[in-house]
Amino acid sequence: MVNINESTIDYLQSLYDRISKYETPKTFFLSLFEYLEEYENNPILNPIWKSIVKLGNKDNAPLKRLEKNVLADINRAYQEVKQYVEENALKNTLALHAVESYEAYKNGTLITSQGPVEALGGYVTYALLALLEDNDHDHFPFVKKFGTFIDNKHVKEWNLSASYLDWQEQKNYIDRIKLAKVWYSWDQIAFFYNLYKDYEKMRKEYFNKKQFINLLGLNDIFRDLNETLSWKKDPKRYLKTFNVGELLRVNMLDSLQTLMNNQLI
């Protein structure tokens, strides 16, 4: 168990009070980063940061396993659809666009507000629906393996993965409980801290992965954050970029008991 001396606790509390009573976006983020820097560099506090990450990984492990299974199933379905389209030299514009969108999302040149399961699964079902509704050719013998149908033109439901319903249930569970979890709030504030500290490194990683659309978003957030911290006057217009309420949700002093209860410190 971590033994935190009284002076450290007092210092953390003073930082948290300063963050909670921020007067400008600049003072808010400066205090926030000082708070996280203490956790990163203090040999007593750093294990707590690692414990928070460990707790988050533990809570999210079942969802990640299910997501991996679902994405593998979706990719197998996509490969079949792509092969069918190419071997039959289909000219169906909607189906071809869905195939192109799938590839673009995987390559990082297309971004949506949806996660990978919804996005990639959506592109596959868009392609299948385009084939199903093609009035010039009957693709039902191929399409029918991917769902349950009312007739040869109307789908009742798509079945791309046997694990999808389990994944959806687990995702709903995590989306519900994460709001009360210390790791979720900590992830939010750590993102801004790491972005400001390691922007060049993060930018290079996005570029190497060819996630160019995500890279543009990262650049925009860093620009706003950097201008907020470097502006001589209060740039209140930049505060709208950040969800301050979300960032303030976590108070590490209150979260220590959670970590102890989970035997992570």
**73 plus 135 within the same structural domain:** yes
Region for 24 from its dihedrals, namely left if φ exceeds 0, alpha if ψ lies in -120 to 50, beta otherwise:
beta
pTM to 2 decimals?
A: 0.79
Question: Taking CA 243 as the corner, what is the angle to CA 240 and CA 248, rounded to the nearest 5 degrees?
Answer: 135
**b/e code 157-166 from CB counts within 10 Å (16+ = b):** ebebbebbeb
Last residue of a domain, which of 101, 133, 166?
166
Residue 210 belongs to a domain: yes
**26 plus 100 within the same structural domain:** no
Q: What domain range is 139 assigned to?
A: 60-166
151 class by beta-carbon count within 10 Å (0-12 exposed, 13-18 middle, 19+ buried): exposed
Residue 176 belongs to a domain: no
| Mean pLDDT to the nearest integer, 8-31 | 77
Tokens read off for 254: 């209150």
Confidence band, pLDDT 50/70/90 cuts, at residue 244: low
Question: Which percentage of the chain shows pLDDT scores above 90?
Answer: 44
How confident is the model over 113-124, as pLDDT tens digits?
A: 789 999 999 999
**34 plus 98 within the same structural domain:** no
**65 plus 162 within the same structural domain:** yes
- Number of domains within the chain: 2
**39 plus 72 within the same structural domain:** no
**140 plus 64 within the same structural domain:** yes
Name the more confident of 72 and 216. 72
Q: Has residue 254 got a pLDDT over 70?
A: no
**152 plus 69 within the same structural domain:** yes
Residue 51 belongs to a domain: no
| Mean pLDDT to the nearest integer, 232-242 | 52
Question: Which percentage of the chain shows pLDDT scores above 70?
Answer: 85
What is the pLDDT at residue 197?
A: 92
**146 plus 241 within the same structural domain:** no
What is the pLDDT at residue 243?
A: 54
Residue 120 belongs to a domain: yes
Q: What is the DSSP letter of 24?
A: S
Residue 53 belongs to a domain: no
Q: Has residue 1 got a pLDDT over 50?
A: no
The winner for highest mean pLDDT among 27-41, 62-76, 243-257 is: 62-76
**156 plus 185 within the same structural domain:** no
| Mean pLDDT to the nearest integer, 4-33 | 77
Confidence band, pLDDT 50/70/90 cuts, at residue 147: very high
Residue 103 amino acid letter: E
Query: DSSP of 211-257, one letter per residue?
Result: -HHHHHHHHHHHHHHHHHHH-SS--GGGGGGS-HHHHTT--HHHHHH
Residue 172 belongs to a domain: no
Confidence band, pLDDT 50/70/90 cuts, at residue 229: confident
Q: What is the DSSP letter of 3?
A: -
Name the more confident of 17 and 81. 81
Confidence band, pLDDT 50/70/90 cuts, at residue 16: confident
Place of tokens 């000219």: 91
Last residue of a domain, which of 166, 199, 216?
166
Look over the chain and give the mean of its residue pLDDT values, rounded to a whole number. Answer: 84
Name the nearest CA neighbour of 34 among 54, 18, 10, 52: 18
Residue 67 amino acid letter: E
Tokens read off for 209: 């992965």
What is the pLDDT at residue 15?
A: 78
**138 plus 191 within the same structural domain:** no
Confidence band, pLDDT 50/70/90 cuts, at residue 63: very high
**40 plus 12 within the same structural domain:** yes
Tokens read off for 124: 């596959």
**Helix/strand/coil for 228:** helix
